[in-house]
Amino acid sequence: MAKINPILGPLSGSMGGLTYARNKGGLYVKMKASPTNPNSARQQAARGILSTASGLWQALTDAQRNAWDIYGAEKPRTDPLGQEYYLTGHQMYVALT
């Protein structure tokens, strides 16, 4: 197994049929997997929850949406590579609803 030390910094995601990822052993590359859509009951329930939460977002006033935008901008999250990122107000609302 070869060690990967990218010049541009940590890699994550897929490009050209390869997926770049990291685990406790470090960075690794694997062939990109084709996603499946099993349409299970659990998956349909999750989609329903997300759909409902997005619908509730549409019912919020502009002031409420702005408050969620501010809240999202104040609460950093960390991705698996240790990089900070921020959610939009809509993303934060759906995540916490």
State whether the Cα torsion 52-54-58-64 is positive or negative: positive
**Structure token digits, residue 12:** 């994550």
Average pLDDT of the chain to the nearest whole number: 87
Q: Report the predicted TM-score, pTM, of the whole model to 2 decimal places.
A: 0.61
Q: What does the pLDDT look like over 48-95, one tens digit per residue?
A: 999 999 999 999 999 999 999 999 999 999 988 888 999 999 999 999
Q: What percent of the chain stands above pLDDT 70? A: 90
State whether the Cα torsion 54-56-61-63 is positive or negative: negative
